[in-house]
């Protein structure tokens, strides 16, 4: 199981290098996903939910039609831990299968 000890700023910077398209937002990492439609977005949310439940570590999930935003943070550690980055990597590895593209600003 991944460590749930709060990471240092240097460790966070290093870990962000392994998860392209994820960004630091305060004490959490976030990524936006754009899908073809609501059904595709909802399928992605279900997949993320299954990963999160297996890891017993749950992200904040925001959904607006075909747009999904995920945010990971370990609240009981007061910031980011290895668990957040492991789950972000797991989510990212499923994105090509789901045909998601980064959300455009």
Q: DSSP characters for 47-66?
A: HHHHHHHHHT---EEEEETT
**pLDDT score recorded for residue 1:** 46
Residue 15, classed as helix, strand or coil, is helix
Instruction: For 69, list phi and psi in degrees, rounded to 5.
Output: -120, 130
Instruction: For 41, list phi and psi in degrees, rounded to 5.
Output: -65, -40
Judge whether 34 lies within some domain: yes
* Domain boundaries, position 64: 22-102
Judge whether 97 lies within some domain: yes
Judge whether 15 lies within some domain: no
Rounded distance between C-alpha atoms, residue 13 and residue 46, angstroms: 29
pTM recorded for the entire structure: 0.86
Rounded distance between C-alpha atoms, residue 105 and residue 78, angstroms: 29
Judge whether 17 lies within some domain: no
Q: Is the pLDDT score of 2 beyond 90?
A: no
- Residues 4-50 have pLDDT tens digits of 899 999 999 999 999 989 999 999 999 999 999 999 999 999 999 99
Which residues, 6 or more positions from 71, have their beta carbon under 8 angstroms from its beta carbon?
A: 25, 28, 29, 30, 59, 60, 62
- Residues 38-81 have pLDDT tens digits of 999 999 999 999 999 999 999 999 999 999 999 999 988 989 99
- Per the structure, the count of domains in the chain is 1
Q: Residue 62's domain is classified under what CATH number?
A: 3.30.1360.20
Judge whether 42 lies within some domain: yes
Judge whether 8 lies within some domain: no
**pLDDT score recorded for residue 80:** 97
């Amino acid at each position: 199981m991944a460590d749930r000890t709060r990471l240092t700023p240097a460790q966070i910077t290093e870990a962000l290098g392994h998860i392209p398209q994820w960004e630091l937002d305060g004490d959490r990492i976030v990524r936006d996903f754009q899908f073809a439609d609501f059904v595709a977005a909802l399928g992605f949310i279900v997949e993320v939910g299954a990963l999160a439940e297996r890891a017993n570590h749950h992200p904040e999930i925001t959904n607006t039609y075909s747009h999904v935003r995920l945010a990971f943070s370990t609240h009981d550690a007061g910031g980011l831990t290895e668990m957040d980055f492991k789950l972000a990597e797991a989510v990212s590895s499923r994105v090509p299968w789901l045909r998601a593209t980064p959300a455009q600003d």
